Structure 1
Amino acid sequence: MHLGKAIRMERIMNRNNGRTIIVPLDHGVTVGPIYGLVDLRKTVDQVAEGGANAMLMHKGIPRCSHRAGGKDIGLIIHLSASTSLSPHPNAKALVGTVADALKLGADAISVHVNLGDETEPNMLADLGSLCAEANEWGMPVLAMMYARGPKIDNEYAPNIVAHCARVGVELGADIIKVNYTGDPQSFKKVVKGCCVPVVIAGGPKLESDRDLVQMVYDSIQAGGAGLSVGRNIFQHKKPAHIVAALNKIVHENWEVDAAMQLL
């Protein structure tokens, strides 16, 4: 691995276990300034204090969230965007470059691809090109790989998720983010089909803290490398506490009941 890429990977992942807790804060482009994304410095402080490895955001937001103090946390710049106002919300457009991320001091970039959408070819071309360019600069790439389109009946189906994950690996991504398939046995097959770390998405806001902690625990037991969860963390009433509980699961191999005591 390119030395620069290896160093940056260690800034967003635990170098001892290869796992990570990433908190995406990129939802403002998609749905606007929702709860948890208004005072970004406060939110970043809270997730950093809880032990998150990295935050993920669009290129304009570091100026609103850089704290110049507090606990350090990695930075991933997201390069894909679409809005809920569009008639084609699953069509992701590139809105940034590797150079943008480098200038911001980022440790990685991320790209979102919706397989099955009518604009899938464009998103695949963008992912492939960005992976090649990022590799030249030693910049890690996180690929958010989902199945969303007219042919997709269930985006959480194990074979669909495994296919999504494999596409990201095949095109050069260094970390893959996918939906959790619902049980460790099926998710283990997703992980087995990849030779790079696989993290799970949070999806819609869950009904309870235990649902989230259990899902992360199960994914780790299946060989997953952690999580990239947004709303279930930054909209939590105590973001630092839920991250701290997840930190014990991901980085210290705690059981669910023990981690729940922190909440």
Structure 2
Amino acid sequence: MQLGKAVRMERIMNRNNGRTIVVPIDHGVTVGPIYGLVDLRKTVNQVAEGGANAMLMHKGIPRCSHRNYGPDIGLIIHLSASTSLSPYPNAKTLVATVEDALSLGADAVSLHINLGDETEPRMLADLGAVCSEANKWGMPVLAMMYARGPKVTDEYDPAVVAHCARVGVELGADIVKVNYTGAPDSFRNVVNGACGVPVVIAGGPKLESDRDIVQMVHDSIQAGGSGLSVGRNIFQHADPSRIVKALHKVVHEDWSVDAAMELFD
């Protein structure tokens, strides 16, 4: 691995266990300024204080969320977008470049790809081109890989999730983000099929309880996963710092679910 890429990976991944806690706050483009994403500086501070490794956001957000005190946190700039107002919400288009991310001091870039969508060819072309460009600069790429389209009947199907992860790896991503399959055994097959590239899980819809999110992350780690990239279940939590602290114990200190839940008592 190039030295520059190795240095940046260490900023967003724990060097001791190769795991990470990423909190994406790119939702404002997709659905607007929802709860948890109005006072961005407050949210970023809470997440950083909880022990997250990196925040993920669009290029215009660092100027209104950059931290000036407390623990540091890595920065990932998201390069693709679509809105819920569009008749084609699954068609992601590039809205930033690798050089934009470099100028902001970012540690990585990310893209969202929806396999199965009618615009899949263009999104795959974008992923391949961005991975090539990022590699020239030693910039890590996180690929958010989902299956969403007319032929997709279950985006959580283990074989479908494994296919998503493998596409990201094959086109050059350094980290792949996918749905959790719901069970450690099936998710282990996803991780094994990713050829050694770190696999992190998405949070999906807002979960019913703190234990649900902690249990899901714990099980994914036991299956060989490398952590999480979770948004709403963290930034819309009543206490973002506390839920991140609990997840930090599970991801980076191998705590049990029961032990981590004691932090909420």
- When the two structures are aligned, how many residues end up with a matched partner? 263
Q: TM-score, normalised by structure 2?
A: 0.99
Q: Write the letter of the residue equivalent to 1:31.
A: V
Shift of 1:97: 0.1
Q: CA deviation at 1:163?
A: 0.1
Superposed displacement of residue 136, structure 1: 0.3
Mapped pair 1:225 → 2:240: no
How far, CA to CA, are the matches of 2:50 and 2:128 in structure 1? 34
Residue 29 of structure 2 aligns to a residue in which SS? helix
* Unaligned stretches of 5+ residues in structure 1: none
Deviations 1:76-102 (A, max 9, x none): 000010000000000000000000000
3-state SS of the aligned residue for 2:221?
helix
Opposite residue 23 of structure 2, the aligned amino acid is: V
Q: Which residue of 1 aligns with 2:163?
A: 163
Tell me, in whole angstroms, the C-alpha distance in 2 between the residues paired with 1:35 and 1:70: 24
Residue 74 of structure 2 is matched in structure 1 by 74
The separation in 2 between residues aligned to 1:230 and 1:242, in whole angstroms, is 12
Matches of 1:239 and 1:31 in 2, distance apart?
A: 20
1:123-138 counterparts in 2 under 5 A?
Answer: 123-138=123-138
Tell me how far 1:157 sits from its aligned partner: 0.2
- Which stretches in structure 2 are left out of the alignment for 5+ residues? none
Superposition deviation, residue 68 in structure 1: 1.9
RMSD of aligned Cα (Å): 0.4
**CA positional deviation for 1:26:** 0.2
- Residue 69 of structure 1 deviates from its aligned partner by 1.7
Per the alignment, residue 95 of structure 1 pairs with 95
Residues 137-179 of structure 1 show CA distances to partners (whole Å, capped at 9, x for unaligned) of: 0000000000000000000000000000000000000000000
The alignment partner of 1:86 has SS state of coil
TM-score (norm 1): 1.00
Alignment of 1:165-204 (within 5 A): 165-194=165-194, 195-204=196-205
Q: Identity rate of aligned residues, in percent?
A: 81
CA–CA separation in structure 2 for the residues paired with 1:204 and 1:122: 27
Q: Equivalents in 2 of 1:123, 1:209: separation in Å?
A: 34
Question: Per-residue deviation at 1:70?
Answer: 1.8
In 1, distance between residues paired with 2:113 and 2:105? 24
2:170 corresponds to which letter in structure 1?
Answer: E
Please identify, of 66-75 and 16-25, the stretch whose mean Cα deviation from structure 2 is larger.
66-75
Query: Once the 2 structures are TM-superposed, how far is the Cα of residue 104 of structure 1 from its aligned partner?
Result: 0.2
* Displacement of 1:67: 2.0
Q: Which residue pairs with 1:234 in the alignment?
A: 235
- For 1:262 and 1:48, how far apart are their aligned partners in 2? 17
2:84 partner amino acid:
S
2:207 aligned partner, one-letter code: L
Give the Å deviation of 1:216: 0.2
Counterpart CA distance in 1 for 2:239 and 2:192 is 34
Deviations 1:7-54 (A, max 9, x none): 000000000000000000000000000000000100000000000000
